[in-house]
Amino acid sequence: MLDIKFIRDNLDRVRKAAKDKRSAVDLDRLLSCDDERRHLLVAVETRRAEKKRLSKEIPRLQGDEKRRLLEQLQASSEAEKADEERLTQIVAEFDHLMLLVPNVLDEDVPFGHDDQDNVEVSRWGLPPSFSFQPRDHVELGQLLDILDIERGVKLSGSRFYFLKNEGVLLEMALLRLALDLLMRKGFIPFIPPYLVKREAMEGTGYFPGGEEQAYAIEKDGLYLIGTSEVPLAAYHYDEILDEKDLPRLYAGVSPCFRREAGTYGKDTRGIYRIHQFQKVEQVVLCANDVAESERLHRFLLANAEELLQSLGMPYRVVNVCTGDLGQGQLKKFDIETYMPSRGGYGETHSCSKFHEFQARRCKIRYRDGNGGTRFVHTLNNTIIASPRILIPLLELNQREDGSVSVPEILRPYLDGRSVLEPRRK
């Protein structure tokens, strides 16, 4: 959420962000609501003061003068009630419109309509060349007997799957590898709640607008998280922190659930786009400082790059364009890892900064050295998400006989196992 004063003072910039992000928000109506809201607040306070004055005078009066003031008090009370009812309505509309206003953009965010317009900023590693016809991750998963999509679909529907045998161990090894890396860098590990209230979804910017992507437990008013960013960014909801304790570095380990609404027929083969997955997420709360936010944005990105390099996976980093940014994101880098079956790079990580957008919605502040309070800045980045990361891991490390070499850094997590052998022909 942006400050209404910031919106008024930077209206052209906010209009441009809304247009570039294709956000449907009526800024003119928002400003009109704000004008009426402020007018009504003054009117209500004025009438209350008048009622208080009349209430003190009336007991000292008699006769016609007393009746006149009683009539005046009655009229003032009725007018106050009408103003309060209108104020309740206009505040509700104002609050709703404020939730629809997108964050502004960093100056170097490229303009574009979708992920095809993202701009590459760096690349690491070289795609492999195989001396044989490589298999995709689905065929490899079947040969190794670590992936069963058919039975996942039979029991749960499309975009579900079973991991089994070494597939389970491989996913757990990747999650632990990522978590160990972050803990060495000072991150505090969390296993958060997997169900959250609407306040957390609104506070982090996923609602309103993203309801169709979330699984809702309507009876309890709860939602399955699509990322541990939600509970961790909202962990200090309505709290005031101390500046000396910033930045807060949090690492969330959780299953994630997404409906993938609007992707019918897209990426239907395999485990690239699915409804349930595991993730280790980096979440940072820092001081309200643009330079500090930028430093930490690069820090989070570097952590994910370090992990991919340790696994020997070629990747590229892209600066995400305006049309591919979420409502609250000021700027985002995606990491796309090379996947032979796709003949190119596929998104595996997203690294976002928000400045105070989420903190305002979650009411997370800190007390600075002068005793004042300011909203924190928030950032996040995936460091590993499985099973999508299994796609490049299996495909890049495959051998002609269908076996898969285990990256050296993962072997200690797999009892020293260096190769996954086929179980099936």
Residues with a known catalytic role: 258, 273, 347, 350, 388
Reply yes or no: is the peptide bond before residue 247 cis, omega within 30 of 0.
Answer: yes
Q: How far is CA 369 from CA 204, 243, 355, 375, in A?
A: 27, 7, 20, 14
Q: How far is CA 249 from CA 30, 350, 381, in A?
A: 35, 17, 11
Q: Is 217 helix (H, G, I), strand (E, B) or coil?
A: strand
**Residue 293 identity:** S
Distance CA 300, CA 293 (A): 11
CB atoms within 10 A of CB 268: 11
Query: To 5 degrees, how large is the angle CA 22–CA 24–CA 30?
Result: 130
What crossing angle do the helices spanning 137-144 and 166-184 adopt, rounded to 10°?
A: 110
Structure tokens at 303: 């952590």
CB atoms within 10 A of CB 158: 12
Q: What is the CA radius of gyration of the chain?
A: 27
Distance CA 231, CA 224 (A): 11
Maximal C-alpha separation, the chain = 108
Distance CA 295, CA 23 (A): 28
Structure tokens at 69: 């003031």
Distance CA 4, CA 9 (A): 9
In terms of Cβ atoms closer than 10 Å to its own Cβ (0-12, 13-18, 19+), residue 229 is buried
